[in-house]
Amino acid sequence: MRIVIPLFDGVTALDAVGPYEVLRMLPEAEVVFAAAAPGTHRDGAGALGLLATASFRDVTAADVLLVPGGPGARRGVTDEPLLDWIRRLHATTTWTTSVCTGSLLLGAAGLLDGLTATTHWSAVDLLESYGARYTARRVVEQPGGIITAAGVSSGIDMALRLAELIAGRVAAEAFQLAIEYDPQPPFDSGSYAKASDEAKAYLANRP
Amino acid sequence: MRIVIPLFDGVTALDAVGPYEVLRMLPEAEVVFAAAAPGTHRDGAGALGLLATASFRDVTAADVLLVPGGPGARRGVTDEPLLDWIRRLHATTTWTTSVCTGSLLLGAAGLLDGLTATTHWSAVDLLESYGARYTARRVVEQPGGIITAAGVSSGIDMALRLAELIAGRVAAEAFQLAIEYDPQPPFDSGSYAKASDEAKAYLANRP
């Protein structure tokens, strides 16, 4: 069970790390963090470096491809070598998945045309520019093994569903227990539909 | 607003990265990942490397100290230089916090004696061996600015509460929206009280 997670400068770390902490527990899981070149890649905020141990050239097949988002994913939509690699990997996968604006990379690679998909709430128009139909659901499963998740933290929910599909419900429930994922957010501001105008204005006006 | 997150080999990546994605958005946030020596530190599962850019020696003060857990935290309870550093940092902080078994490091440093605290459900006895009273709550605030969170994913909930304490409710709600934290786990198996015997047995018998 080979799970491949691409990294790039400007990745949102939680997009990758949330699902990683679930999928790494799959039976005989081998997780590979890959990038254009091996080495440390800085996240979107710049304070955290994540290590890719393999290069895209060396990773030619996967059971699960999980594409994270972030500012680097938005920039990556014109990175033809990256998009080619995603297309080639996808031809080998059982599951091709994205978190947050990772869906833009799947879209730019031509994998979402005519499909229903999700992404971060701020990237809806971009997603639809690749021929996808956006839906404000948290995890969207489509034929061909394509699963997209909404913004950042939604990758944890997606990974639990994916774990169920791969290893069954008891295993997935065990992984949920292992990461003590019994979420109790102190507010109810986690979606664009629920957040207040004040919270949206605060976010829009951050330096 | 300086937020310091120690890294060590065997850290659970999500313990650090979940709160990081919230706290990095605080006004004028400077997040520093520090370790005994700068460089890449492998997580508990071994597939992911996280970069520390500073050494403990160079980090002598923080507004927020956030101590993640993992197998390396369990080992760290006898690492006197690490515990000394935690004590010295704590003397400078407004908030000293832990996620998962990071609480064992706070306990071993003597910071939880006589306090109520939480940790990963599998580490309750160890936590109490340091004089803390365990409570099965997800986020526990105590006098002196000490906040402990339960296992792994609970750090996100803690960080949102901490963001509210530091920057106010509208800011914290904005951060929740930014990471689209509208959790929808597909099962309800995220606490020891809720998980089935089958899920617990699966976890206990993983290779």
User: Given an 8 Å threshold on Cβ–Cβ distance, is B196 in contact with A173?
Assistant: yes
- Give dist(CA A45, CA A48) in Å, integer: 8
Which of the residues in chain A have pLDDT under 50? none
- Give dist(CA A171, CA A165) in Å, integer: 10
Per CB-CB distance under 8 Å, the chain B contacts of A170 are 196, 198-199, 202
User: Given an 8 Å threshold on Cβ–Cβ distance, is A199 in contact with B174?
Assistant: yes
State the pLDDT at residue A46.
Answer: 96
State the pLDDT at residue B182.
Answer: 98
3-state DSSP call for residue B105? helix
* A12 in B contact zone (CB under 8 Å): yes
Shortest distance, CA A83 to any CA of chain B (angstroms) = 23
State how beta strands B139-142 and B146-149 pair: antiparallel
Question: Residues of chain A with pLDDT > 90: what percent?
Answer: 99
State the pLDDT at residue A28.
Answer: 96
State the pLDDT at residue B207.
Answer: 77
Query: Domains, chain B, ranges and CATH?
Result: 2-204 (3.40.50.880)
**Digit-coded pLDDT (tens) for B56-66:** 999 999 999 99
> What are the contacts of A121-128 at 24+ separation with CB within 8 A?
A121/A150, A121/A151, A121/A191, A121/A192, A121/B177, A121/B180, A122/A151, A123/A69, A123/A74, A126/A74, A126/A77, A126/A101, A127/A103
Phi, psi dihedral angles at B97 (to 5 degrees): -135, 160
User: Which residue in the list B100, B106, B126, B159 is annotated as catalytic?
Assistant: B100
State the pLDDT at residue A111.
Answer: 98
Shortest distance, CA B34 to any CA of chain A (angstroms) = 11
Shortest distance, CA A91 to any CA of chain B (angstroms) = 24
Q: What is the mean pLDDT of each run of 10 residues along chain B (207 residues)?
A: 98 98 98 98 97 98 98 98 98 98 98 98 98 98 97 98 98 98 98 98 92
State the pLDDT at residue A207.
Answer: 77
State the pLDDT at residue A89.
Answer: 98
State the pLDDT at residue A20.
Answer: 98
Q: Do B173 and A199 touch, CB atoms closer than 8 A?
A: yes
Hey, how many other C-beta atoms are within 10 angstroms of the C-beta on B185? Answer: 19
**Digit-coded pLDDT (tens) for B168-192:** 999 999 999 999 999 999 999 999 9
Closest CA in chain A for residue B51: A49
* B98 in A contact zone (CB under 8 Å): no
State the pLDDT at residue B202.
Answer: 97
